[in-house]
């Protein structure tokens, strides 16, 4: 699956969920920068406030507890066992 391959690639580069929360990617040139930066050091493009993780979560379903990327039909997190359907019925 493409999403899984992408996540593997990110993790191989050291981009696990914790790292991704600290990183942003320039939408213009793709340079990875610290989230504290507001302008890309490479091309000068103004950067979004969203972190790499925020962007990733918009495109992929992730576990609320541990941040593991999940398939769209997953009912439990394969990493921590969090039952995903509780998200809908909670509160």
Q: Which of 40, 52, 62, 70 binds Zn ion (CB under 5 A)?
A: 40
- 52 lies in the binding site for Zn ion (CB under 5 A): no
Closest CA to 32 of 44, 40, 16: 40
- 42 lies in the binding site for Zn ion (CB under 5 A): yes
Can you say how many angstroms the Cα of residue 73 is from the centroid of all Cα atoms in its chain?
18
Minimum CB separation from Zn ion for residue 24, in Å?
10
Coil, helix or strand for 33? Answer: strand
From the list 5-13, 16-24, 28-36, 51-59, the region that binds Zn ion by CB under 5 A is 28-36
Minimum CB separation from Zn ion for residue 79, in Å?
4
Q: Which of 43, 46, 59, 76 binds Zn ion (CB under 5 A)?
A: 43
Residues 6+ apart with CB under 8 A from 19: none
Closest CA to 52 of 11, 88, 4: 11
Q: Which of 26, 62, 69, 70 binds Zn ion (CB under 5 A)?
A: 26
């Amino acid at each position: 699956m493409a999403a899984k391959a992408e996540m593997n690639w990110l993790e191989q580069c050291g981009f696990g969920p914790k790292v991704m929360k600290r990183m942003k990617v320039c939408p213009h040139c793709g340079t990875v920068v610290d989230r504290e930066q507001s302008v890309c050091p490479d091309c000068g493009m103004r950067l979004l406030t969203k972190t790499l993780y925020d962007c990733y979560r918009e495109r992929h379903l992730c576990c609320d507890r541990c941040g593991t990327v999940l398939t769209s039909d997953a009912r439990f997190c394969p990493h921590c066992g969090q039952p995903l359907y509780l998200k809908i019925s909670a509160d």
